[in-house]
């Protein structure tokens, strides 16, 4: 209701609420290194600050991740995108969409916001070149109208970065 860019937002199920409350508590006790989450009363959308890891191409850079949870989290993956400006990375599109299998086909309900964050930071850290994906313009154009990356049929082919 209040937000525009999220996909049709249904209220979180009770199971999702319970699980997210636990994750929130766990995050406060033990936040993943390099991430900051300002706790708000909105359990369904987390905005998380990421600091590029020291010694990597993204050192001293700060980005923001927006994590939206579906009604049936964790049976379904959260939608995770970078808020603009998204880091320059071969798997991150300029609209903030991230090509990372665990966010889509390889999601598992044992994963958490925290583990997803760590995967994203690891993906950033292993990058050897700051550039957009080769098909960035075409993809982004195709995603106008606020399409969710979860609607994209991603093709994962690179396990190095």
Q: Which residues pair with 83 in a beta bridge?
A: 64
Contact between 105 and other proteins per CB under 8 A: yes
Taking CB under 8 A as the binding criterion, the range among 43-51, 52-60, 104-112, 116-124 that sits at the site for other proteins is 104-112
Taking CB under 8 A as the binding criterion, the range among 28-36, 57-65, 116-124, 144-152 that sits at the site for other proteins is 144-152
> Could you give the CA distance from residue 99 to residue 91 in angstroms, rounded to a whole number?
5
Assign 3-state DSSP to the chain and report helix, strand, coil percentages, each to 5: 25, 15, 60
Taking CB under 8 A as the binding criterion, the range among 27-35, 43-51, 100-108, 121-129 that sits at the site for other proteins is 100-108
> Could you give the CA distance from residue 22 to residue 7 in angstroms, rounded to a whole number?
24
Active site residue 117: no
Q: By rule CB under 8 A, what count of residues binds other proteins?
A: 38
Contact between 153 and other proteins per CB under 8 A: yes
- Which residues, 6 or more positions from 137, have their beta carbon under 8 angstroms from its beta carbon? none
Among 54, 84, 109, 146, binds other proteins (CB under 8 A): 109
> Could you give the CA distance from residue 118 to residue 121 in angstroms, rounded to a whole number?
5
Is the CB of 18 or the CB of 62 nearer to other proteins? 18
Question: What does each C-alpha distance from 106 to 34, 134, 155, 156 come to in angstroms?
Answer: 24, 23, 12, 10
Q: Which two tokens stand for residue 127?
A: 């990058």
Is the CB of 56 or the CB of 136 nearer to other proteins? 136
Contact between 144 and other proteins per CB under 8 A: yes
Q: Is 108 strand, coil or helix?
A: coil
Residues near other proteins (CB under 8 A) are 15, 18-19, 22-23, 26, 74-76, 90-91, 93, 99, 104-112, 133-136, 138-139, 141-142, 144, 150-155, 157
């Amino acid at each position: 209701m209040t937000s525009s860019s999220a996909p049709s937002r249904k209220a979180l199920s009770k199971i999702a609420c319970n699980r997210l409350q636990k994750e929130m508590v766990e995050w406060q006790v033990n936040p993943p290194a390099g991430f900051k989450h300002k706790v708000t009363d909105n359990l369904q959308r987390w905005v998380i600050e990421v600091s590029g890891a020291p010694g990597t191409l993204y050192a001293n850079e700060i980005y923001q991740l927006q994590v939206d949870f579906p009604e049936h989290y964790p049976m379904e993956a959260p939608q995770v995108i970078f808020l603009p400006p998204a880091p320059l990375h071969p798997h991150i599109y300029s609209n903030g969409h991230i090509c990372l299998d665990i966010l889509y086909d390889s999601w598992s309900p044992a994963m958490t916001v925290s583990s997803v964050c760590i995967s994203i930071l690891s993906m950033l850290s292993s990058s050897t070149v700051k550039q957009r994906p080769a098909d960035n313009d075409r993809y982004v154009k195709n995603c106008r109208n606020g399409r969710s990356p979860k609607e994209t049929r991603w093709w994962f082919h690179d396990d190095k970065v």
